[in-house]
Amino acid sequence: MVLYHGSKVIVESPEIRIQKYNKDFYFGFYCTLLPEQAIRWATRFDGNGYLNEYLYTPDDSLKVKRFPEMTEEWLDFIVSCRVGHPHAYDIVEGPMANDTIFNYVQNFVDGKISREAFWALAKFKKPTHQISFHTARALTTLAFMKGSEVRDEK
C-alpha cells in the first residue's frame, strides 16, 4: 500500500517530532492514502512543498488502532490526545478532523458545545484519512519511494 506525506521538504527518513500542539492522534508521523490531501498539507503555507511517497508494509506484531469512521470512540480518542494524554498504540488510522471538524472538536473540548451539538455539526462534513506512526518500530513499516515537488495551483 502506498501512503503519502505532505511536507516542506523531502522526508526520506520519517521521524516522530514533538510539536507545539497535540494532534488528532497525539505526536507521530502522519500520512494518508489520499495524495490530494497530502498535497494540501504540503502547500498550505506558501503554495509550495513536497509530496513524499512510502510503501507501507503492515506488521501484525504492532499494536494498531483503526477507526473506520467518525464514532463516539473516535471523538473521545481525539479529545484525549488533543488535551495531552498519550496512548499505547504503535499506529492509529482513521478520519482526520479537518479544519472545520477540528474547530468543532476544540469547542467540545472547551465545553462550548455539547456532544450532541458536535455530532449535529459534524454529520454533514466529509472526513478525510490519516494514519499516524507513533513508535520507532512503527516507522520501520515505511519504505521511502520518492519525493516530488508540488504547488498549489489556485
- DSSP reduced 3-state for 125: coil
CA atoms of 133 and 103, how far apart (whole Å): 24
How many domains would you assign to the chain? 1
Res. 98: pLDDT tops 70: no
Domain encompassing residue 140: 2-151
Mean pLDDT of 104-116: 90
| pLDDT grade for 151, boundaries at 50, 70 and 90 | very high
In whole angstroms, give the CA distance from residue 53 to residue 51. 7
pTM confidence score = 0.89
pLDDT value, residue 125: 67
Per DSSP, the three-state class of 12 is coil
Residue with cell 476544540: 106
- For the stretch 76-87, pLDDT in tens is 999 899 888 999
